[in-house]
Chain A
Amino acid sequence: MLDTYRKLETPESIDLDIHIAGHLVRALAALLDSLIRFAIHIAVTLVLMIFGNLGMAVTLIFTFALEWFYPVLFEVFWHGQTPGKKAMGIAVVNDDNTPVGWSASIVRNFLRIVDFLPMGYITGLVAMALNQDFKRVGDLAAGTVVIYREKKVAAPQLPDHRATPPPVALSLQEQRAVLSFAERHQSLTPERRAELANHLQPVLQRKDQPAVDYLFRIATWLRGDR
């Protein structure tokens, strides 16, 4: 597994894999959020200008709320996602993968002003580089972490082949590798498939497309089709 995966042990004593979001995707989410915030700010100010002093008062209060509570409200009420995070497919959760509540969300977002120092989130970026879970200062204090939300992936279709037992006994890891190869076949070019299959030439006694087909047959057998 890549090193951005973390094992999380649950009370059911199983290990869940959580996928931690890194600098780039979070920076993009933050950028998107600030653009959205800016647009809302302009729009509300323009509309409320019509209403004179009352509009001015509401604008001031609204700006205050937008500045301090925009991320908090979204994170608490929208499954840990601001619009920017939603667009990037990431979300904030507590360290133990439970949804963030008011206190945690307020801490991590109020401390944004510290992460921003001296400019452009430099402190936050440095802090993220210094710990393994990519936490900025706000995340460290709030005990939160930003993870990737699972995407729905359609069940991969194994290529249609007769089942053939493998020529030698395969260890569990080897079985998994063969299955993984078959499941991913649509995302690989034929050349790459052949290249990967050719590594097994000594075992399979075949080359190129026949080797690929042979691996698919073994995968079908491993899954249990007969």
Chain B
Amino acid sequence: MKQQVFEQQNQAVWDNFEQQLDGLGNARRSKSDDASLAGFADNYRQVCHLLALAQERQYSPHLIDHLNDLALRGHQHFYRRKGRIGYNLLQFVLQGFPQTIQREYRFVWLGVALFFIPAFVMGGLTWLDPNLIYTVYDPDHVEEFVRMYEPSNHDKSAAKRGSSDDLVMFGFYIKNNIGIGFQTFASGILLGVGALFNLIFNGVAIGSVAGYLTQLGHTKTFWPFVVGHGAFELTGIAISGAAGLKLGYGLLCPGRLSLRQSLINAAREAMPLVYGVFFLLLIAAFVEAFWSSSTNLPSEAKYLAGASFWLLVISYLCLGVRRGS
């Protein structure tokens, strides 16, 4: 069949399909336009068929390119995947995240161990020998946070600090802490070394500060402050490390998959952990800015709340929220 006859017979099909595609691409599409999509699937299949014919008969490049473009665009609309996060946030928080934690328990335990063991070891060592803090921080930094938690200073500065300062700190914690969480995940692709480094480094840094301030006797200001948001923040960082380690493991041990497929699978399976980290660190930033910073409450109340936060987070992650039977 000559190209011109072919075009005369079938032009209506692909012109109609192109109109439907243009309608779909239009951002201001309303529900009433849906009627114009009748027969979209049929048209798509027909365009695919016509493209195959045109290719086989070696019609002119312009016609083939045009049909190819239409088929490509149709393919994108036809095989659009459903979003996995947007569709049910609540379900993810209640079930999806804890389920992923339980499924990936090996990596989560590894992340927890790599973060908390260095923290406790370094904390204990710094408590015994305060000079160790200078291996992690330079003296200016040390002086700064000693001043921050100075018991006599603390009451004065807290009185000055209003709720708008809390808001600024909320913004700061979001930018800083969630950024660290995301970085820890992403750096895991360097065969896991980046996540490993981030976990251990953050563990050592946090441990040394805690040990140093405890040894200095600033316990009344430091521990009540950190115990509350620590439940969300420290677990969040450990889980971000777990997600990063999973990514690195996908590269190191692809098993029977190709390296590329193994990496893609690892990233896909690690994503719920990253969403969860975002969720936990968002709560942590909120608690740290608005609850931890308040000095009106007695330390006992802070400890009690902190303990219940820890209990809540751990039981949430270990048990999840079961579907009502």
Contacts and interface: CB of A to CB of B under 8 A. Distances in A.
A10 B55 contact: no
B222 interface: no
A117 to B, nearest CB: 8
A141 B72 contact: no
B179 A64 contact: yes
B311 to A, nearest CB: 29
B190 A140 contact: no
B264 A143 contact: yes
A187 interface: no
Contacts of B103: none
Interface string B1-45: 011111000000000000000000100000000000000000001
A60 B167 CA distance: 10
A156 B68 contact: no
B75 A97 contact: yes
A93 to B, nearest CB: 7
Size bin of chain B's contact surface: 35 or more
B186 interface: yes
Given A53-B168, A141-B264, A224-B2, A14 B51 contact: yes
Interface string B62-96: 10011011011101100111111110000000000
Main DSSP-derived SS at the A contact region: helix
A186 interface: no
Given A106-B274, A225-B4, A79 B25 contact: yes
A137 B244 CA distance: 14
Given A103-B268, A140-B263, A224-B3, A16 B68 contact: yes
A56 interface: yes
A52 B25 contact: no
A113 B247 CA distance: 15
Contacts of A59: 171
Contacts of A52: 164
Contact of B84 (A17, A103, A142, A222): A103
A67 B183 CA distance: 12
Interface stretch (A31-39, A171-179, A196-204): A171-179
A18 B76 CA distance: 12
Interface string A45-63: 0000000111011111101
A44 interface: no
Given A64-B175, A222-B3, A111 B186 contact: yes
B85 A103 contact: yes
A96 B190 CA distance: 26
B187 interface: yes
B61 interface: yes
B97 interface: no
A93 B187 CA distance: 24
Interface string A93-133: 11011110111001100111110000000000000000000
Given A179-B59, A183-B62, 17 more contacts: A10-B48, A14-B48, A18-B72, A53-B165, A54-B167, A98-B79, A99-B80, A106-B274, A111-B186, A112-B186, A113-B187, A142-B264, A153-B62, A155-B66, A173-B58, A179-B3, A224-B3
10 contacts: A64-B178, A97-B72, A103-B85, A103-B268, A110-B186, A113-B183, A143-B267, A153-B62, A176-B61, A222-B3
